[in-house]
């Protein structure tokens, strides 16, 4: 069964450094998403991406975040200058792009980001 | 704005016990509802989903959920749990505004004792 994959599984960085989290969505999917879960808190939506542009973003997704689909398979989340509060599990998801309400999102295993 | 509440944060059951996990949502329009499960060390997996039609939805591994519109609820049930059901369970909602962002509940950690 096709799966969403993410690399690395764990990333440790210093505050102020840039990090790039990588995801390979399911190959025929059209929508891509990033969510995050701070330890002990809810899974929160960050951004969705369709047709090479952001389709939705939350208030969390500020100017320090960016997303990109650099080639036909990868989908990346960049955090330009990491803060301590960016420490979280970051989940990538993808969906087939069925008409709105029937679309189902499939999640990757997550990247645990630790900012020191 | 939509929101989801899962009131059971940690549930401990013995094998063969029946399970019901509560999920209530807040949203004024038509909703899509989901239950995801996260087994230890694994990623979020879809258990079941409701879009329309029969409010009793059957999912994988013997799970089912019932959508009760009047109660804004989508509780997850399983008649007889197994040790392998030990996991964290997340309820999520997607509204009908055309947005695809999922709003998650805080999750319920289920521990099944053999």
Chain B residue numbers touching A56 (CB-CB < 8 A)? 99-101
Please give the mean pLDDT across all residues of chain B: 92
Residue B27: pLDDT over 90: no
Chain A residue numbers touching B94 (CB-CB < 8 A)? 101
* Cα angle, residue A4 at apex, residues A63 and A22 outer, rounded to 5°: 40
Q: Does A97 touch chain B (CB under 8 A)?
A: no
Q: What is the mean pLDDT of residues B87-92?
A: 96
How confident is chain A (116 residues) per 10-residue block, as mean pLDDT? 91 97 93 93 94 93 94 92 96 82 85 97
Instruction: Say if strands A10-13 and A111-115 run parallel, antiparallel, or are unpaired.
Output: parallel
pLDDT per position as a tens digit, A51-84:
999 999 999 999 999 999 988 789 999 999 999 9
In this prediction, residue A99 carries a pLDDT of 62
B101, A43: Cβ pair inside 8 Å?
Answer: no
Distance from CA of A69 to the nearest CA of B (A): 19
Mutate to test the interface with A, among B43, B49, B107 (most CBs of A within 10 A): B43
Q: What is the mean pLDDT of residues B85-110?
A: 90
**Is residue A40 left, alpha or beta, with left meaning phi > 0 and alpha meaning psi from -120 to 50?**
left
Mutate to test the interface with B, among A54, A101, A112 (most CBs of B within 10 A): A101
* Cα angle, residue B39 at apex, residues B77 and B96 outer, rounded to 5°: 60
Residue B96: pLDDT over 70: no
pLDDT per position as a tens digit, B49-81:
998 889 999 999 999 999 999 999 999 999 999
Chain A residue numbers touching B49 (CB-CB < 8 A)? 104
What three-state secondary structure class fits B69? helix
Query: Between A31, A95, A108, which is nearest B43 by CB?
Result: A108
Going by C-beta distance under 8 Å and a sequence separation of 6 or more, which residues neighbour residue A76? Answer: A20, A21, A22, A23, A67, A68, A69, A70
Q: Does A18 touch chain B (CB under 8 A)?
A: no
In this prediction, residue A100 carries a pLDDT of 54
Residue pair A5/A107 in contact by the 8 Å Cβ criterion: no
Q: What is the mean pLDDT of residues B71-97?
A: 93
Query: Between A41, A102, A110, which is nearest B43 by CB?
Result: A110
């Amino acid at each position: 069964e096709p799966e969403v994959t993410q690399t690395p599984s764990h990333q440790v960085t210093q505050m102020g450094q840039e990090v790039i989290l990588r995801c390979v969505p399911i190959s025929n999917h059209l929508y891509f998403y990033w969510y995050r879960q701070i330890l002990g808190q809810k899974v929160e939506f960050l951004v969705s991406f369709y047709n090479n542009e952001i389709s939705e973003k939350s208030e969390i997704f500020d100017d320090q975040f960016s997303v990109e689909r650099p080639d036909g398979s990868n989908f990346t989340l960049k955090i330009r200058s990491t803060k301590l509060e960016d420490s979280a599990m970051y989940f990538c998801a993808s969906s087939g792009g069925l008409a709105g309400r029937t679309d189902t999102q499939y999640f990757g295993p997550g990247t645990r980001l630790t900012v020191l | 704005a939509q929101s989801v509440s899962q009131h059971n944060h940690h549930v401990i059951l013995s094998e063969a016990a029946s399970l019901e996990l509560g999920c209530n949502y807040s949203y004024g329009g038509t909703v899509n509802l989901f239950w995801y499960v996260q087994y230890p060390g694994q990623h979020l997996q879809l258990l079941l989903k409701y879009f329309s039609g029969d409010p009793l939805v059957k999912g994988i591994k013997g799970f089912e959920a019932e959508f009760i519109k009047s109660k804004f609820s989508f509780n997850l049930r399983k008649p007889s749990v197994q040790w392998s059901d030990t996991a964290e369970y997340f309820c999520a909602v997607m509204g009908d505004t055309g947005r695809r962002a999922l709003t998650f509940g805080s999750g319920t950690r289920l521990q099944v004792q053999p």
